[in-house]
């Protein structure tokens, strides 16, 4: 009986540590603003994806939403689309 309780504690601690590790890794991974589709390039494809999201044609994951929020105000709006569009046209000139 005693052994079982210990084993459960041990497993619970291991699960907690694992979850903590996942959270830490996620917090540490840099967020590339503007790279909505996560392909490490900021281009028209990201713009299209963001546009589709705003038009409700496409859904974005949590990570994609973080990347799409260009002005970092916690919401994804047409302002973010404008900012991304300006950025893409600036770097392509």
Of 54, 49, 84, the residue nearest 64 (C-alpha):
49
CB of 85 to Ca ion, least distance (A): 13
- Assess 51 for contact with Ca ion (CB under 5 A): no
Which is closer to Ca ion, CB of 37 or CB of 51?
37
Q: Which stretch binds Ca ion (CB under 5 A): 16-24, 33-41, 50-58, 81-89?
A: 33-41
Asked if 71 is part of the footprint of Ca ion (rule: CB under 5 A), the reply reads yes
Is residue 64 near Ca ion by the rule CB under 5 A?
no
27 sits in the region (left: phi over 0; alpha: psi -120 to 50; else beta) called alpha
- Per-residue buried b or exposed e for 79-93, using 16+ beta carbons within 10 Å of the residue's own CB: ebbebbbebbeeeee
CB of 27 vs Ca ion, minimal distance in Å: 20
Q: Which residues bind Ca ion (CB under 5 A)?
A: 35, 37, 39, 41, 46, 69, 71, 73, 75, 80
């Amino acid at each position: 009986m005693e052994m079982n309780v210990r084993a459960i504690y041990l497993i619970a601690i291991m699960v907690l540590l694992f979850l903590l590790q996942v959270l830490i890794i996620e917090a540490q991974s840099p967020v590339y603003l503007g790279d909505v589709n996560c392909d490490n390039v900021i281009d028209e494809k990201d713009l299209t994806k963001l546009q589709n999201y705003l038009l409700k044609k496409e859904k974005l994951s949590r990570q994609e939403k973080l990347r799409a929020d260009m002005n970092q105000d916690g919401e994804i709006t047409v302002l973010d689309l404008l900012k991304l569009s300006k950025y893409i046209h600036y770097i392509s000139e």
